[in-house]
Amino acid sequence: MPKVLIIYYTLSNNTKKMAELISKGVRDTGCEAVLKNVADTSIDELRDYEGIVIGSPTYYGAMAYQVKKLIDESVKFHGQLGGKVGGAFSSSANIGGGNETTILSILNALLIHGMVVLGIPRGDHYGPVSIHSPDERSSALCLEYGKQIGMLVKKLYPCDGNIK
């Protein structure tokens, strides 16, 4: 069964709630979903997953430094994460509060690792956004995003976690 790691940093639990909803969406596709606070995430385990989805609150228009630290240190495995499925999400205090640029700062990093990223034609296109705690709109988008991530992981790693 392919596995997706959902990493989050959270202070207010809003980003964590989003991570839980995305995990549920991933599981609905039959993939395994593992949820981790960035503080509990080791770069050494990143290679063990077929998908990596990262969420951060919106701090000055980019991922929190605690998330960026993990990404900077992941250079140890540069080139070894290629082909995995990547995704991103953010919580924010404001509609135009930097949440899209936060998501894109994460997606850019995953693209640089050689990962594969998908967009969403309906709703929040680059990845789900929540203004404060996820409301009905945002919760539905998180679930759907998890499903899309899970389905793409299954297409790329169809049987046993080994890319074809």
Residues that bind a copy of itself (CB under 8 A): 59-66, 68-69, 71-72, 74-75, 78-79, 81-82, 94-101, 103-105, 108-129, 131, 137, 141, 152, 155-156, 158, 163-164
Cα–Cα distance measured from residue 106 to residue 65, given in angstroms and rounded to the nearest whole number: 12
Residue closer to a copy of itself, measured from CB, 1 or 78: 78
Paired tokens of 85: 């499925």
Shortest separation between residue 9's beta carbon and a copy of itself, angstroms:
11
Residue 16: CB minimum distance to a copy of itself, A: 18
Q: Do residues 70 and 56 touch, judged by C-beta distance below 8 A?
A: no
d(CA 139, CA 18): 7
- Complex with a copy of itself: residue 1 or 119, whichever CB lies closer: 119
* In the complex, least distance from residue 43 CB atom to a copy of itself, rounded to whole angstroms: 12
Q: Report in angstroms how near the CB of residue 24 gets to a copy of itself at its nearest.
A: 19
Euclidean distance between CA atoms 65 and 94, whole angstroms: 20
d(CA 123, CA 138): 9
